[in-house]
């Protein structure tokens, strides 16, 4: 009996760790050159933006907690030096999981005010994981010979998204305001709206040069043309659902009718076609 309960206790202590390791052991962090001193890291979770240079290193987002060491090693390989800043595009765990590890190593975490609010209200939030510099509308980091701007364009994917502009390198990190090639996740329960999501994408397209490189929250490194196609998809699919609502159709009717065939491939990612229709519907009814 004693041995049995000891086994259970041991198993309970080991199991979650083993599970976490199994999930992330195979993940490799791959560095993709974007422009000048800016790189994109792919691993598991949201794409990471990296600025390297004489001032040290800065990252935009940090995926999941168990990947922090690998992310650190990947950045060190690009440029051995101090990680000085972590910018969070929003609060979701696949973009902020490494915060606690990097915050504990003295990196300064910066994010829109609602990111700190949401992270601090999470059940087992750690102090080191919280942004220490917050802003409502905009902030700038003058680093590695350029101005890195963080701009909040109102509610969109959540209520705390920032678009990060590397103004010298002509690179934009969109966070989850851009799912390249897929329907987006819009977090209505964290203050996001589909209307705001589209508005933010439009504002970015008005601001950026035609030859800017774009790091999406999820999906491959992108061009301005890719972002334009994404916006066209957002507008057309939203119109289809809104017209259906105006014609008195139920959510079940709308799902049964689906979207135009040309949007089929967008539903192969994280957000399936049915869920996208439901998100547009719920956002419109909010």
> By C-beta, is 155 or 244 nearer to Zn ion?
155
> By C-beta, is 146 or 176 nearer to Zn ion?
176
> By C-beta, is 92 or 152 nearer to Zn ion?
92
Q: How far is the CB of 278 from Zn ion (least distance, A)?
A: 17
Q: How far is the CB of 144 from Zn ion (least distance, A)?
A: 26
Q: Is 118 near Zn ion (CB under 5 A)?
A: no
Which range binds Zn ion by CB under 5 A, 65-73, 84-92, 110-118, 196-204?
84-92
Which range binds Zn ion by CB under 5 A, 29-37, 99-107, 174-182, 197-205?
174-182
How many other CB atoms sit within 10 Å of the CB of residue 269? 16
Q: Is 62 near Zn ion (CB under 5 A)?
A: no
Q: Is 159 near Zn ion (CB under 5 A)?
A: no
Nearest to 94 by CA among 56, 134, 142, 48: 48
Q: Is 176 near Zn ion (CB under 5 A)?
A: yes
Q: How far is the CB of 124 from Zn ion (least distance, A)?
A: 20
Interacting residues of 67 by C-beta distance below 8 A, sequence separation 6+:
24, 27, 29, 43, 44, 45, 97, 98
Report the C-alpha gap between 55 and 14 in whole angstroms. 41
How many positions of this chain bind Zn ion (CB under 5 A)?
2
Report the C-alpha gap between 250 and 102 in whole angstroms. 47
> By C-beta, is 222 or 254 nearer to Zn ion?
222
Report the C-alpha gap between 49 and 31 in whole angstroms. 10
> By C-beta, is 45 or 244 nearer to Zn ion?
45
Which range binds Zn ion by CB under 5 A, 141-149, 172-180, 222-230, 231-239?
172-180
Q: Is 161 near Zn ion (CB under 5 A)?
A: no
> By C-beta, is 67 or 169 nearer to Zn ion?
67
Which range binds Zn ion by CB under 5 A, 74-82, 90-98, 159-167, 261-269?
90-98
Q: Is 92 near Zn ion (CB under 5 A)?
A: yes
Which range binds Zn ion by CB under 5 A, 85-93, 97-105, 161-169, 261-269?
85-93
SS (H, E, C) the chain: CHHHHHHHHHHHHHHHHHHHHHHHHCCCCEEEEEECCEEEEECCCCCEEEECCCCCEEEECCCCHHHHHHHHHHHHHHCCCCEEEEECCCCCHHHHCCHHHHHHCCCEEEEEHHHHHHHHCCCCCCHHHCCCEEECCEEEEEECCEEEEEECCCCCCCCCCCEEEECCCCEEECHHHCECCCCCCCCHHHCCCHHHHHHHHHHHHHHCCCCCEEECCECCCEEHHHHHHHHHHHHHHHHHHHHHHHCCCCHHHHHHHCCCHHHHHHHHCCCCHHHHHHHHHHHHHC
Q: How far is the CB of 267 from Zn ion (least distance, A)?
A: 18
Q: How far is the CB of 95 from Zn ion (least distance, A)?
A: 6
Which range binds Zn ion by CB under 5 A, 92-100, 136-144, 190-198, 250-258?
92-100
Q: How far is the CB of 158 from Zn ion (least distance, A)?
A: 7
> By C-beta, is 217 or 244 nearer to Zn ion?
217
Per CB under 5 A, residues contacting Zn ion are: 92, 176
């Amino acid at each position: 009996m004693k041995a049995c309960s000891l086994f259970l206790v041991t198993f309970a202590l080991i199991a979650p760790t083993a599970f976490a390791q199994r999930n992330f052991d195979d993940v490799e962090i791959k560095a993709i050159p974007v422009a000048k001193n800016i790189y994109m890291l792919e691993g598991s979770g949201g794409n990471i933006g990296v600025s390297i240079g004489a001032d040290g290193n800065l990252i935009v987002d940090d995926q999941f907690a168990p990947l922090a060491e690998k992310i650190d090693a990947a950045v060190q390989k690009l440029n051995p030096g101090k990680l000085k800043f972590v910018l969070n595009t929003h609060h979701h765990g696949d973009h902020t999981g490494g915060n606690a590890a990097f915050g504990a190593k003295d990196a300064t975490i910066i994010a829109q005010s609602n990111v700190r609010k949401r992270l601090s209200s999470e059940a087992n939030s750690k102090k080191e994981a919280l942004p220490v510099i917050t802003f409502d509308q905009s902030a700038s980091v003058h680093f590695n010979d350029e101005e890195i701007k963080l701009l909040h364009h109102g509610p969109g994917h959540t209520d705390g998204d920032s678009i990060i502009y590397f103004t010298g390198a002509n690179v934009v990190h969109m966070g989850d305001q851009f799912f390249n090639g897929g329907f987006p996740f819009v977090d209505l329960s964290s203050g996001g709206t589909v209307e705001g999501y589209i508005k933010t994408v439009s504002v970015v397209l008005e601001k950026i040069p035609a030859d800017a490189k774009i790091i999406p929250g999820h999906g491959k490194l992108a061009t301005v043309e890719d972002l334009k196609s994404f916006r066209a998809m957002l507008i057309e699919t939203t119109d289809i659902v809104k017209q259906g609502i105006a014609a008195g159709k139920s959510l079940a009717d709308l799902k049964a009718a689906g979207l135009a065939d040309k949007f089929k491939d967008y539903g192969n990612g994280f957000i399936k076609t049915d869920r996208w229709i439901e998100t547009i519907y719920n956002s419109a009814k909010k």
